[in-house]
Amino acid sequence: MEKPYARRGSERTVVGSEFILSRSAGSMSSNNTASSTEDEWSDRRRIVLKTARVYTSLSELIEGAKQNKLSLAVFKPTRILDLTVEEEDREWDPKKVEVMRAENSQLDLFDDKSWATTFRVIPKLPYSFSYRFEDAEDKASELQILDWEIGALYWNCLADAHGDEEKALAKVREKYMDDFFEKDLHFFLGTTQRFHLIAPNPWVIVGVFPIPHERQLRMF
């Protein structure tokens, strides 16, 4: 299900929507920063969670996909059970890469073809990540995380760990389990075109939204 994507040079990616605040007693700039952060998170909660419907039943989403009524949704798990990690093939399928190159060479969308000179296939993510969770019906499920941010986080952690994959995976787990466990965690879910109407459960996690709880916002 994973596809090659481009990463710009050695640029490090800032992952997630977290803000690191330097706060000190009596600091006017710290108070301003905290207030700004609270406003930003409040705006995000209003825009994302107050306007769109937030689903809590995965069965309802599966039925909606089967009826071809839903392909994107905001979902709130009741309880996170685990972050599962599975080792994947470490190289892209050569046949698929060749097909992709052939398709790209035939694209005639732009007169300027300079982008083609810098096009490259990046290293394949050697692990897949999934959340195991329960929904409002106490049903346990597991959905793969296809959000690009978890891949970027892994590569950044791997660089910081000087190539030690176990340490990098531990850092990913720390972020997605320990850190996000303290948040009002929501998922952005999407269905894959290939399995939208035929899979028992066509949904995957295309984005993770670890917003602070409303009571946390009021503490700033």
Going along the chain from its start, the domains and CATH numbers come out as 54-91+124-219 (2.40.50)
Q: Are 207 and 147 in contact (CB under 8 A)?
A: yes
Q: Are 125 and 2 in contact (CB under 8 A)?
A: yes
Strand partners, 127: 87
Higher pLDDT, 111 or 32: 111
- ∠196-108-115 over CA atoms, to 5°? 95
Provide the token pair at 178. Answer: 């320990």
Torsion of CA 210, 86, 90, 175, to 10 degrees: 30
Separation of CA 34 from chain center:
25
* DSSP codes joined into one string, 54-89: EE--HHHHHHHHHTT--SEEEE--SEEEEEEEEE--
Higher pLDDT, 35 or 119: 119
Place of tokens 């990913």: 172
Question: Residue 15: pLDDT above 60?
Answer: no
| Integer angstrom CA distances of residue 168 from 26, 88, 155 | 38, 16, 8
pLDDT in tens, 124-136: 999 999 999 999 9
pLDDT in tens, 163-188: 999 999 999 999 999 999 999 999 99
Which pTM was predicted? 0.72
